[in-house]
């Protein structure tokens, strides 16, 4: 029988993920974005594989194209002073079809430097972690497993699901809040 705790979502919700550590207030940014809606015929009307929206100087929202995957998952890149955090790696593994790692590394380079990258997942379903292998081959990348032991250990959640863990990116702390969900 599966451990009942494994029925909880291995969530890494990033409530407060765009908080200013000085005041714990939302950092101003823009959600003035129109997300691509895909196409009835993606061969005749191809779409870029990834759409990138810059919320602010240190926060990017990426979305995989509906022409590449019906899931069209959202992926988040948060940049601190000493590390960057990627939340999810999407539904498409092939870097030729979905150049996620290349896009993330370019965004980090454009932001000023190549910081160490921590990859986390909201949960372990394939549409949230299929791109992991694109990052495994890169230097200075830590991919946190989706199993309960990995999540508890990496984020200091000894009394799962109670408490809040943290990821310190350097002048940007992200709270990790365990929540119930649909992953076992």
User: Is residue 23 domain-resident?
Assistant: no
Q: Label the pairing between strands 74-79 and 59-64.
A: antiparallel
- Cβ atoms 117, 138 nearer than 8 A: yes
User: Is residue 39 domain-resident?
Assistant: no
H or E element at residue 137 = none
Q: The whole model's pTM is what?
A: 0.84
Digit-coded pLDDT (tens) for 125-139: 999 999 999 999 999
Q: In terms of residue numbers, what domain contains 83?
A: 8-16+45-180
CA–CA distance, 2 with 82 (Å, rounded to integer): 38
- Cβ atoms 92, 131 nearer than 8 A: yes
If one counts the domains in the chain, the total is 1
CA–CA distance, 60 with 135 (Å, rounded to integer): 18
User: Is residue 33 domain-resident?
Assistant: no
User: Is residue 106 domain-resident?
Assistant: yes
Digit-coded pLDDT (tens) for 89-128: 999 999 999 999 999 999 999 877 789 999 999 999 999 9
User: Is residue 68 domain-resident?
Assistant: yes
CATH code, domain carrying 54: 3.60.15.10
Annotate 113-145 with DSSP letters as a single string: S---EEEE-SS-SHHHHTTHHHHHTSTTEEE--
């Amino acid at each position: 029988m599966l451990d009942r705790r494994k029925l909880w979502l291995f969530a890494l919700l990033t409530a407060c993920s765009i908080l200013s550590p000085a005041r714990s207030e939302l950092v101003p940014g823009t959600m003035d974005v129109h997300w691509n809606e895909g196409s009835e015929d993606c061969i005749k009307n191809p779409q870029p594989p990834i759409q990138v929206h810059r919320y602010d100087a240190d926060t990017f929202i990426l979305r995989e194209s509906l022409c590449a995957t019906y899931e069209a998952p959202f992926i988040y890149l948060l940049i601190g002073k000493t590390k960057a955090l990627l939340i999810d790696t999407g539904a498409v593994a092939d870097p030729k079809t979905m150049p996620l790692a290349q896009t993330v590394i370019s965004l980090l380079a454009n932001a000023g430097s190549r910081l160490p990258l921590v990859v986390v997942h909201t949960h372990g379903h394939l549409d949230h972690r299929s791109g992991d292998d694109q990052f495994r081959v890169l230097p200075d990348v830590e991919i946190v497993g989706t199993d309960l032991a990995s999540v508890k250990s990496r984020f200091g959640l000894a009394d799962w699901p109670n408490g809040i863990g943290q990821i310190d990116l350097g002048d940007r702390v992200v709270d990790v809040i365990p929540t119930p969900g649909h992953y076992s």
